Amino acid sequence: MKKTRILAIESSCDETAVAIVEDGKELLSNIVSSQINVHSKFGGVIPEVASRIHVENITVVLDEALRKAGLTMEEIDAIAVTHGPGLVGSLHIGIQAAKALAWYYGKPLVPVHHIAGHIYANRFADDLKYPLLALVVSGGHTELVYLKSEYSFEILGTTQDDAIGEAYDKVARVLGLPYPGGPAIDQLAKNGVKHYRLPKVKTENDLDFSFSGLKSAVLQLVSKQTKIKEDIIPEDLAYAFQEAALGELIQKAKAALTRFDVKHFVLAGGVAANSRLREKVNLLKDDFPGLTVTIPPMWCCTDNAAMIAMAGTLAYRAGLHADLSLSADPGLELA
Ligand code: KG4
Ligand code: ZN
């Protein structure tokens, strides 16, 4: 049988990425060019700088992905691309590249929502069963997404203010840690103990999230300690913040699992790389016997194009194609 090969482009934030996936299984190549070194000098992503670097990198990353896979464009069946959400200038570069390839080589163009990509990253670890519940935790999103069947998305709850990754990055900045702060807090917290008390988060809808109160509480604590000239113990503060933030995620996930018919629970997004969250999510199996729990492989947690190629394969098979009028949608909704 003829193989289906999807080439995907992801450029929604500060990673220029191209990957090729065969038959929704085999990862033939996965190239990610990160701009972290540039943006960390500024303590966060500078959108204008990000788009310029995407322009410089995209053809190099594309050539490398084809070379690693040992394929030519003629052997690719369709071009998948992230068309939102994300930084408009960054998305635009990936979409222009995808459209140029689709037009020149006469291939179908398949638009993919960035979060659909994060969710389907789990397909590199496991076959997925439905109904499925995804806990999406990234720099821009914190959501509980329900999939009654393949590629159908319903948002059960979302953050009312900051995304969890954003909260990690802001707390890290207060502690003088480099951007992105998530991995640094993850490491620090391993050596922390229960010491600081942070307030419990309150949300109106019990499946929604809120992290700005927690973030402000950390800022207040640090400024209070500075005023009385007492040193903060960074490990203990990282520990307190992380336990509070992750506790909120797990509590809401459990509430949704209790209320909805779910066969498979998956974690998704950059914060899925967090070691403590991975531990906590694995424990859900004990509370919900019969539930299949999957966490994405470490290499597929933060932004990459392999996940877009995986979701793109399903979208391609479902006939979800776009024409060449496709444009970037920075606020694109999943459902
Ligand atoms: O999914 P992603 O790569 O980009 C977005 O779609 O936003 O997620 C990036 C976020 C950043 O906020 C980063 O600090 C966080 O994921 N992150 C982590 C860890 N690794 C990355 N947060 C906590 N612990 C980690 N180990
Ligand atoms: Zn992402």
With the most atoms of ligand 1 within 8 angstroms of its CB, the residue from 34, 115, 138, 243 to mutate is 138
d(CA 143, CA 253): 10
- Give this prediction's pTM: 0.97
CA of 278 relative to ligand 1 center, distance in Å: 13
Range of lowest pLDDT (36-40, 56-60, 97-101): 36-40
Q: Is 302 in the pocket of ligand 1 (CB under 6 A)?
A: yes
3-state secondary structure of 142: strand
* Token pair for 136: 């999406």
Are the C-beta atoms of residues 269 and 12 closer than 8 Å to each other?
Answer: no
Mutate to test the pocket of ligand 1, among 271, 279, 280, 300 (most ligand atoms within 8 A of CB): 271
Q: Which ligand is nearest to the CA of 32?
A: 1
Q: Which ligand is nearest to the CA of 275?
A: 1
Q: What does pLDDT average to over the chain?
A: 96
What confidence tier does 154 reach under pLDDT thresholds 50, 70, 90?
very high
Neighbours of ion ligand 2 (CB under 5 A): 138, 303
- For the Cβ of 138 lying below 6 angstroms from any atom of ligand 1, the answer is yes
Q: Is 257 in the pocket of ligand 1 (CB under 6 A)?
A: no
Residue 1 in this model has a pLDDT that exceeds 80: no
Q: What is the DSSP string of 47-83?
A: HHHHHHHHHHHHHHHHHHHHHHHT--GGG--EEEEEE
Helices (H), the chain: 36-39, 47-69, 88-105, 114-120, 164-174, 182-189, 212-227, 234-259, 275-282, 284-287, 306-317
Q: Which of 174, 302, 304 to mutate to test the pocket of ligand 1 (most atoms within 8 A of CB)?
A: 302
β-pairing, 264-268 with 132-137?
A: parallel
Distance between Cα 261 and ligand 2 center (Å): 27
Given this model, what pLDDT does residue 7 score? 99
Domains of the chain: 5-120+300-317 (3.30.420.40), 129-295 (3.30.420.40)
Pick from 181, 187, 196, 183: nearest CA to 244: 196
| Spacing, Cα 270 to ligand 1 middle (Å) | 4
111: helix, strand or coil:
strand
- Looking at residue 284, what is its pLDDT? 98
User: How far lies 47's CA from each of 137, 274, 286, in Å?
Assistant: 21, 25, 43
Helix 234-259 vs helix 164-174: crossing angle, to nearest 10: 170
Residue 199 CB neighbours (<10 A): 10
The alpha carbon of 139 and the centre of ligand 2 are apart by a number of angstroms equal to: 7
Is residue 270 within 6 Å of ligand 1 at its C-beta?
Answer: yes
pLDDT tens string 286-316: 999 999 999 999 999 999 999 999 999 999 9
- What would the mean pLDDT of 212-236 be, rounded to a whole number? 93
Phi/psi of residue 45, nearest 5 degrees: -80, 130
CB 96 within 8 A of CB 128: no
Q: Is the pLDDT score of 145 beyond 80? A: yes
Ligand closest to Cα of 277 equals 1
Condensed to tens digits (0 to 9), the pLDDT of residues 270-286 reads: 999 999 999 999 999 99
CA of 106 from ligand 1 middle (Å) equals: 36
Alpha helices in 127-233 (DSSP H): 164-174, 182-189, 212-227
